[in-house]
Amino acid sequence: MWGALLRRGVRGAGGLRCLSSGGPPWSQVVSEAEKIVGYPTSFMSLRCLLSDELSNIAMQVRKLVGTKHPLLDTARGFVYDSRNNLQMRGLVILLISKAAGPSTAELSFQHDMVSGIYSSQRSLAEITELIHTAFLVHRGIVNIGELKSCDGPLKDMQFGNKMAVLSGDFLLANACTSLAQLQNTKVVELISSAIGDLVQGIYYENSKSSEENCLTDDIGISRWKEQVFLSHSALLAKSCQAAMELAKHSTEIQDTAFQYGKHMSMSHKLHSDLQPFVRESSSDTIAFSLNSAPAILHQEFRGREAWLKQIREAQGKGNIVDYKKLQEAIKAGKGVTSAIDLCRCHGNRALAALERFPPSEARDALANIVYAVTRFP
């Protein structure tokens, strides 16, 4: 399906290499990119995270230690993120701002630039990270009605839910306040629509997963991509576009930035979905979503009824799913290889968008991010 594009790769006047050439590992990509934009993005939301209000919330979250509430896992991720994924969106916004540079309409405001990036663009990167973090925290809310005795005391889960709602709302409120301070109507509209997309995407996920005996959605890969754009790609794509608007770049450049953000984040999501199937040291089978890209593509090739039969055969007592058995079934089919092809297809589209920016360290760093999320063992 995507073979011709993948074999051709991308190589323009600026000399971006094709995906098959590989690149540095993810941690090195992030480290080098942070040097280019001027400071580590791990400190991006420091002003908010050190505020008195969030300090009070953190003290309350400590009461969850020893429970099994998912908010604890989210909090641990903020402190120890070995994959450097949490601040990825802000880093991309800063890099694409520097890659595009100042527009001819904004040359008189270059005194406001630090390391080739406007202060408003740095604020936008922080806003995007706050919105993403707020939704991560809100995703940690558990369904009280589905709890089992092994999940721990009910009062712990209820308290954890309250903390997830309050802390997520606090972060989102801070993001909206900072967004208004940018005083740019189009940017406010773009980011507001991205928040709406996130809500719509997450609502769809939850409404499907709450249906009785609904382990997997009856959708094709086209519908899957539409849903993933809403819940995973819209925020980054529209934030990249907004960064160009803050620098008064043309509509064409804004669309180019949007396309990079969209296709890079789609590749990132596909790369994440593929990890349970491609990890070299996979002695322990990791539970994976039956609505992940490899599973959806496997269903497309096998047919809905055949896929449901495989799921039923993998269910033991108490409807506990044997993920090892399903993993082997998907790997034996075309789902994994097709998902890798799709990941690289979106990666190539992201590289094609980058060709429209002049050669620079920032553009190379953006390309390295694409190479990192399209590399597989």
Give the other-Cβ count within 10 Å of 29's Cβ.
Answer: 22
pLDDT in tens, 182-226: 999 999 999 999 999 999 988 887 765 544 445 677 788 999 999
pLDDT computed for residue 239 by the predictor: 97
- Check residue 167 and give its pLDDT: 78
Q: What is d(CA 98, CA 249) in angstroms, rounded to the nearest whole number? A: 12
Q: What's the pLDDT band for 340 if we cut at 50, 70, 90?
A: very high
Poorest-confidence range of 29-43, 77-91, 227-241, 325-339? Answer: 77-91
* Banded pLDDT at 109 (limits 50, 70, 90): low
Structure tokens at 209: 């997963």
The residue with greater pLDDT, 82 or 256, is: 256
- The pLDDT of residue 311 is 87
Asked if residue 250 has pLDDT above 90, the reply is yes
User: Per-residue pLDDT for 45 more than 60?
Assistant: no
Q: What is the pLDDT averaged over residues 25-40? A: 76
The whole-number average pLDDT for the span 248-276 is: 95
Q: Note the pLDDT of residue 136.
A: 82
- In the predicted structure, residue 254 carries a pLDDT above the cut 90: yes
Across 1-5, 147-151, 221-225, 248-252, least confident range: 1-5
Name the average pLDDT for the chain: 79
pLDDT score, position 204: 80
Can you give the pLDDT at residue 300?
Answer: 92
Q: How much is the average pLDDT of 245-262? A: 96
What is the mean pLDDT of the segment spanning 34-55?
A: 57
Residue 62: what pLDDT?
59
Pick the range with the lowest mean pLDDT from 41-50, 285-294, 355-364. 41-50
Check: CB of residue 73 under 8 Å from CB of residue 101.
Answer: no
**pLDDT level of residue 80 (50, 70, 90 thresholds):** very low
- pLDDT above 90 for 47: no
